[in-house]
Structure formats: C-alpha cells, structure tokens
Amino acid sequence: MVKIQNRAHILTEKINPKSQMIDTLSTEQIIRLINEEDATIPLAVREAIPQITAATEIVIAAIKNGGRLRYIGAGTSGRLGVLDASECPPTFSVPPDLVQGIIAGGWIALRQAVEGAEDYPEQGAADCQAAGLTAKDVLMGIATGGTTPYVHGAIKYAQSIGAKTIFFTCTPKEDLGLTADVIIEVLVGPELITGSTRMKAGTATKMVLNMITTTTMIRLGKVYRNYMVDHQAINAKLVDRGTRIISELTGLSYEDAYQKLLEADKHVKHAIVMIKKGVSLPEAQRLIAEHDGFIRFAFDDNNNDFPTSGK
C-alpha cells in the first residue's frame, strides 16, 4: 500500500483565485484567461536563468567528458523529457544515445496515462540502472510538483553512483526534501485547473529543456551563427534547409549547393567546409574534428564574412 501524503501545501496544488469561477465563463473568456496566465511563464523562467545556466554548464562538461544527458519524469514531465531528447538527433546530428528520456511506466506511458507508476522510488532507481546510467552521465529529474517518488528514487540512485544531478520543479525547493547539484525552481504559481501541471508547469518545463539542450549544442559547435549546420538532410524539408544554408554561407547557387550537399553525404557542415576550404570530404571531416566540431575556422573573416547567397 502506497502511503498517502497531504500535498495541499505544494504550490502547484494550490487553488488559483483567478479561476475559481472558470466553469461559468464563456469559451472566449476561458481562452483569454488561459492566455493571460500563460503570459506569466516566461517571467518565471527568467528568474531561474542562473540555475538553468549552471545546469547547462554541467551538461556541457559531462558530454565533453564522454557522458550523456538523461531526463527522468512521470506523466507530462516524463513525456516532455522524451520529446526534447528525441528531437536532438535530427536537429543536431547527435547519436540517439546522447540525450534520452526515461518515463515512469515505460513507452506505453507516452500514449496513455500510467499514473500509478510514479509512486515507487525503487522503480526510478531500477529504470536508471536498466538505462545504463554511469558516473559520467547527468540525470535531470523533472517533477513540477516536486514530490514524485519515482523521480526522487532516480536522483538518489544517480547520486549513489557519482553521477551529476539536476532537479527541475515548479514548487519552492525547500519543500522538496531532496538535494541535487543544481535545482531549477520555476515558480509559475497555481494552475487555473487546480493541480493540472500539464498547463503552466508543463509549458515552463518545455521552455527550460529547450534552453538546456539548445545551448549545449551551440556550445558544442552544432550551430554556426544561427544556422543549424550540424544536421544531416534525411528528408525533403531538411535537404531544402541544408541546401539553403550552404548557399547562404558560401555564395553558391541553390543548385550548386544542392550538388555539394550530395557530395558531402548530405551533411551540411561537411559541405560548407569542403566549399570554403576547397577540400575533399575526408579532409573536411578531419578538419572539423581537429577544431572540436566548430567550423568558424573555415571562414577567413569570422566577423564579417557573410556572402550574399546565389540565386
């Protein structure tokens, strides 16, 4: 029997006075109220930027040292972790194992609620062990209400093997009963529908996870200027995007850029270096590796070399 805990003091479980008559409002009034509350989320995230920065630096250092990032959560939190992780390989051409999400209840929980799965700390630990978590890795626990036993068990297991830990919550950290290397506290306040953390807390979670992985990938050389240069063009949309990036950064026509992309086995970054340095694909690969994945070396004037794309 799982011990029941009175969670009335948890911020995400409190009643929002703005919505106590929400069931009497018109459709448009409800939507406007939701929109007004959503507008407060970026401000709450902004307050946590120092902690988000510290967490991101931990992730960058771990990956540079051969480690990986693992998200773990239950319900909405778990699904958002899996979502962010799954978007890293196509966006930044990283191995699927580099960033992964672990969700209470397993893959079935991505499509339907498996609510009881979050009640067992030992399962969180077991799932981390099954996922091969090591001391080189970073485990980021996501629990907007702060108390999820599954996530607490996972964090404690990670700490026991020497892995770095990050904890994301939307309730004051003093209520957690847990420590981590970094605690990211985004206080979005009570939900319009009491306890429905799929709303403001979920949106805040998505924003923070995007910040962490996007910043990490930029710092690892996956982006040049604001171009997604380290993606492999594996579908028609990405082929077009890659072709346009090559054209804009090198001055080649769209057609010539497309041909160069094909020569580079559809790797945008490789094609750019091949063009800018006049080298073969193997040499471009060697040069990129020599510069730790960054391609700024390929441009003669790093500040001003921005050719007009060919037409």
199 and 242 assigned to the same domain: no
261 Cβ contact partners less than 8 Å away, ≥ 6 residues apart: 233, 239, 242, 243, 246, 267, 268, 271
- For residue 182, the tally of other CB atoms under 10 A from its CB is 21
Residues 254 and 173 grouped into a single domain: no
Residue 72 lies in a domain: yes
Last residue of a domain, one of 186, 219, 252: 219
| Domain assignment of residue 157, yes or no | yes
In a domain, 5, yes or no: no
123 and 192 housed in the same domain: yes
Residue 78 counted as domain residue: yes
pLDDT value, residue 195: 84
Task: Return the active site residues.
Answer: 87, 118
Residues 145 and 245 in one domain: no
CATH number where 125 lies: 3.40.50.10490
| 110 and 46 within one domain | yes
The reply to whether 307 falls in a domain is: no
Q: What is the pLDDT of residues 194-243, one digit of tens each?
A: 888 999 999 999 999 999 999 999 999 999 999 999 987 889 999 999 99
Is 177 in the same domain as 244? no
Domain shared by 84 and 121, yes or no: yes
Residue of 156, 185, 207 whose CA lies nearest to 10: 185
Residues in the chain where the model's pLDDT stays below 70: 1-4, 6-8, 300-311
Residues 179 and 256 in one domain: no
**Are 272 and 176 found together in one domain?**
no
**205 and 252 inside one domain:** no
Domains contained in the chain, number: 2
Residue 250 lies in a domain: yes
Q: What is the CATH number of the domain that holds 286?
A: 1.10.8.1080
HEC secondary structure over 248-308 = HHHCCCHHHHHHHHHHCCCEHHHHHHHHHHCCCHHHHHHHHHHCCCCCHHHCCCCCCCCCC
Structural domain contains residue 229: no
pLDDT of residue 38: 96
Same-domain pairing of 187 and 241: no
Say whether both 139 and 262 belong to one domain.
no
Which pLDDT score is estimated for 135?
98
Single residue among 170, 190, 219 that ends a domain in this structure: 219
Dump pLDDT digits (tens) for 12-49: 877 888 888 999 999 999 999 999 999 999 999 999 99
Which of the listed residues 190, 219, 248 is the one where a domain comes to its end?
A: 219
Structural domain contains residue 166: yes
Distance CA 235, CA 26 (A): 43
Q: Print the domain residue range for 68.
A: 11-219
